[in-house]
């Protein structure tokens, strides 16, 4: 069975600070990897995804993530956060043999202070 | 831009009552998922449909929960009777077949409060 682990449950940063959120997964086969964001009062939105190819993927709003297969990791990064990045961030994986159902981590709550 | 529709957005009910949630996926999306998100946690799959057929309902508490997608389009998730522990956000997502089938699109969710 797949599992997803997000290392930080709560992160507080000042504006312009750099962000890195850790995500590790366990699964023996080929997976697709995702980062979703949930802004306060809004629904889940896709930040970025990795299916194959270049392990460094760029998403919306200046976010990027790097897939390191040997470490089973898919960490999310942003060089300079803004107050508007305050949100809940979820790492998720899926695979063909599980019908592409998403397996989410517990989420990381990010608070960016002015 | 097409979106997944869900209703109601909010539902407050008393313990032991029946509740139902509705989801209309993006047109043409064959796969539909229902997830439950308890406060402070990530969403967890309840049931997955491919067209009108259930693909996976292993995590659905079948003694009280039921889900259907009769014509392979919209779907209803029902809880009867509701329990206090069912308070959560219920999310619907859909995806299309083919190479992009790994990506799902989420609706706004139904927030259920059981008193």
Q: What is the pLDDT of residues A16-72, one digit of tens each?
A: 999 999 999 998 788 899 999 999 888 889 999 999 899 999 999 999 999 999 999
Q: Which of A76-90, B25-39, B97-111 has the lowest mean pLDDT?
A: B97-111
Q: What is the pLDDT of residue A41?
A: 83
Cβ–Cβ gap A102/B91 under 8 Å:
no
Confidence class for position B101, pLDDT limits 50, 70, 90: low
What percent of chain B is modeled with pLDDT above 70? 95
Would the pLDDT of B100 be above 60? no
Structure token digits, residue A78: 């942003």
Half-sphere exposure of A62 (CA within 13 A, CB side): 11
Q: What is the pLDDT of residue B13?
A: 97
**Separation of alpha carbons B24 and B105, rounded Å:** 12
- pLDDT tens for each residue of B29-82: 999 999 999 988 899 999 999 999 999 999 999 999 999 998 889 999 999 999
Min CA distance, B76 vs chain A (Å)?
18
Cβ–Cβ gap B102/A46 under 8 Å:
no
B31 touching chain A per CB within 8 A: yes
Q: What is the pLDDT of residue B46?
A: 97
Q: What is the pLDDT of residue B40?
A: 84
**Separation of alpha carbons A43 and B41, rounded Å:** 14
Q: What is the pLDDT of residue B99?
A: 47
DSSP chain B: ----EEE-SEEEE-TT--EEEEEEPPTT--EEEEEEE-TTS--EEEEEEETTEEEE-TTS-TTTEEEE-TTSS-EEEEESS--GGG-EEEEEEEE-SSTTTT--EE---EEEEE-
Q: What is the pLDDT of residue B103?
A: 81
Q: State residue A67 phi and psi, 5-degree precision.
A: -90, 120
Cβ–Cβ gap A90/B43 under 8 Å:
yes
B3 touching chain A per CB within 8 A: no
């Amino acid at each position: 069975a797949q599992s997803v682990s997000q290392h930080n449950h709560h992160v507080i940063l000042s504006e312009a600070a750099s962000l890195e959120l850790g995500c590790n997964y366990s699964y023996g086969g080929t997976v697709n990897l995702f980062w979703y964001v949930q802004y306060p009062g809004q629904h889940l939105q896709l930040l970025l995804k990795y299916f194959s190819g270049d392990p460094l993927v760029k998403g919306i709003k200046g976010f990027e993530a790097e897939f390191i297969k040997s470490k089973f990791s898919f960490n999310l990064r942003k060089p300079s956060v803004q107050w508007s990045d305050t949100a809940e961030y979820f790492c998720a994986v899926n695979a063909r043999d599980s019908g592409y159902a998403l397996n989410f981590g517990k989420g990381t709550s990010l608070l960016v202070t002015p | 831009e097409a979106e997944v529709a869900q209703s109601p957005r909010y539902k407050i009910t008393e313990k032991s009552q029946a509740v139902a949630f509705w989801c209309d996926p993006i047109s043409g999306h064959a796969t539909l998922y229902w997830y439950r998100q308890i406060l402070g946690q990530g969403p967890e799959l309840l049931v997955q449909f491919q067209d009108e057929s259930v693909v996976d309902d292993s995590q659905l508490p079948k003694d009280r929960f039921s889900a259907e997608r009769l014509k392979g389009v919209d779907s209803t998730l029902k809880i009867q009777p509701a329990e206090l522990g069912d308070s959560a956000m219920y999310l619907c997502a859909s995806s299309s077949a083919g190479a992009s089938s790994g990506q799902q699109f989420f609706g706004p969710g139904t927030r259920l409060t059981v008193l």
